[in-house]
Structure formats: C-alpha cells, structure tokens
Amino acid sequence: MFIPYSCDAPLYYRPFGTIGLIVVNTVVFFAHHLGALPVEPWVLEYGTGCHPQEWLLCNFAHADLGHLLGNMLFLWVFGLIVEGKLGAAKFLSCYLAIGLLHAAIEQTLMLGYGGSTEGSLGASAAIFGIMAMACVWAPANEVSIFVWIFWVVHFTFEMSVGVLAAIYVGWEVVLVGLHFALGGAAVATSGEAFATSSWLHLLGVLIGAPLAIVMLKRGVVDCEGWDLFSVLSGDTGADAQAKRAAEPILEETLAVRREEKLQEGLRRFEAYLAIGQASQAQGVRRRMSDMGMPLSLTARQHAALVVGLHKEGKWVESAPVMAEYLAEHRDNADPVRIKLAQICVLQLERPHKALELLKQVDQSGLSDGQRELFRKVAVAAKQRVEAGEIEIDDAAW
C-alpha cells in the first residue's frame, strides 16, 4: 500500500476547500450506498446525449470504498498545494472547472458509443488535473509517503511532487498503450479505448497543466521562483530573483515592481499569521530582507507575530522580534519588556540584559499579574547575576 499523506510546500491558506470536497464526496458516497440517494443521476452516461447536470454530479460519485479512499488521499495531498497558493474560492473554481470540462468532453466524444460500458463516475480526472497544477507550481517540494507491505513492513519516505506526478502520469500512459496493444485495431476504432479510466485521468492532466501555466504566467499565483520552468532552467528561488533584479529595467518600472513585491510579501506574511504559522511568516520577513525589501510592520502585526512565535514555543526566535517592537512602538511596551526579560533569563541566559530591560519598566501602569511577573523575573535575574552566570552578548538585537 502506497499512501501519500502530506507535503512540505508553503501554504498561504488553510485547506478549507479541500476538506469541504472530501466531506461532500464522502457524504455522497455513503448516501448512495445506504440508499438515501439514487446513483443513476450521478453517473455520466454514454450515448444518450449531453446532460450538463451530469458533468457536475459525476465528479462527486464513486463506485466503491477503495475508489473513494484512493481519490480522497490524492485530493488531500495535491489539494493542499494548489489551495495553499490560491485560497478556497479560486481552488474550488479550478477544481470544478477541470471536472466540468473533462466530463463535457468525455460525454461529447462518447455520444455515438454503443458498447457495454454505460458511463463513468468519480473525481479522478479532476484530481489528476489538480495534480498537474501542483506539479507546475511546486515540482521540487517533497511529498511524504507511507508504505505498508503485507500488513507487516511499513516505512515512510519523501518524493518530490514532480517525480510523483511523473510516475502516475507515466503509469497511465503505459496502461493506455497496453490497452491499444492488447485490443488491437478494433479497440482503437471504437469508443471503448476512450472509455478507459487511464484516458480520463490523462484528460484531467491535459486540462490542469495548461490552466496552471496560464495562471502562473498571468501572476495569479506566486511560486517564489520554484515553479516547473524555474526548476527546469536552474534559476530557482533567490537565484531567479537575483537574475531578474540584474536585468535592465526602467527606474519607474523598478519602483512599481518593488512596491508590488512589498505588498505581496505583506500579503504572504499576513496569510501565514492568519493560519497560525508564525515561523513561516517570520521566514517571509527574512526573505524580503535578504532581497533588500524589509517589511515594515504595524504594532498589531508585530504583536501578532510575537504571540504566534510564543504559541509555537519559538522563544529564542521571538526575542529579536520583541526588541524590534520596543524600538519601533511605544504602545503596550512595558508588558513586552517584562516578557522579553523573562525570555532573557529562562531561554537566552542573559540576566544582565533582563535587569536592564526591567529598569525601563514603569510599574505604576502594570496590572497585578504583570507586577507579579515583574517581581519573579527580577528575582530570578538577580539570583543568576549573583551566582556569577556568564552572559554571552547576542549582537542580533
């Protein structure tokens, strides 16, 4: 058993759309198999004309539990990547567009088919389209895969999105080739060749890949220099950005592009904070600074970043952010000083710095809880100073 279950691609949005699709597919499956919903209207019928309602419904019906579980696992992994870059609304629009278009093409091509196969159902083609989009936008990111053999041997490993997609697309191509080879000319001239699931999967890829390329070229999605074209050319990440920066550009254009990048950096920063990924938000700040475009944060953004880092237990990483807050903002500064002094004592082994920070605190404006914390931090810092603790200065802040 070969199960992909997560990906390390940066996510700017929570996967609400992906989860919603999984829930809908699961509910519809059990409604069908428990008799609460008739199955027939959800099947994409062949040879009976074009039925637009079936173009939508067939993407949410599955033949059996294995069919459902396999599709939902792959929807989860590749949906994380695509929705993580687009957000729920745009992701769902892409997913449904792929599903509708593939079903419309499939039913149209099968209008004259009179074989034994009556129709198709399942989300596979739409998911293969989403997989193609993930491959275009994040081919170098790693997918974590769980392997379970004969219920005894099990292990996990990582594989890049590009390699995983190539394996699955390559396998479908092989199956199509075998279908023609084994069926001969009779199959090739009938509708049965197209009716195979491998053709339908490849049709999803042929819809999803161009869609992803158009969205990438139009700037709808930002892959931060790690898209398929950058990876193939070797100009990835910071290298691609440096190369573009070296190109001769009009001063006005450069200023506009800089402002656009700053706004996009702030958008990514806020998106990471909104989904509780403070470390990723801080990573955006570092990358922007490395490009010579440091983000200017409001007091609210600074405070949210500090709180997020504390929730993740990133005490050391939060110290320079708190120092920045104190240097740039006066609002609510004393509680921040006390908290930073506490981190200096407990995490950074800098009791002298802690006492220096506490000397700047105006205790008259503190709450009872803050005064108690002030007292405890001051006692702990003095004890460490008196014990002769050696302090290593951190030039970072």
- How confident is the prediction along the chain (397 residues), in pLDDT tens digits per residue? 678 878 877 778 889 999 999 999 999 999 999 999 999 899 998 888 889 999 999 999 999 999 999 999 999 999 999 999 999 999 999 999 999 999 999 999 888 765 445 788 999 999 999 999 999 999 988 888 888 877 676 778 889 999 999 998 998 888 888 877 776 443 343 344 444 678 888 999 999 999 999 999 888 888 877 889 888 887 665 555 555 555 554 555 667 777 888 888 888 888 888 888 888 889 888 888 887 888 888 888 988 998 999 988 888 888 889 888 888 888 788 999 999 999 988 888 889 998 999 999 988 888 999 999 999 999 999 998 888 866 665 544 5
Count of H-run helices and E-run strands, the chain: 17, 5
Q: Beta-carbon neighbour count of residue 266 at 10 Å? A: 17
Note whether 207 and 101 are within 8 A (CB). Answer: yes
- Compute the distance between CA of residue 114 and CA of residue 111 in angstroms, rounded to an integer: 9
Residue 183 has what pLDDT? 60
Residue 47 has what pLDDT? 84
Residue 34 has what pLDDT? 94
- Residue 359: C-alpha distances to residues 24, 127, 318 (Å): 59, 60, 21
Residue 239 has what pLDDT? 55
Strand residues in 91-242 grouped as ranges (E): 119-120, 142-149, 153-160
Residue 392 has what pLDDT? 61
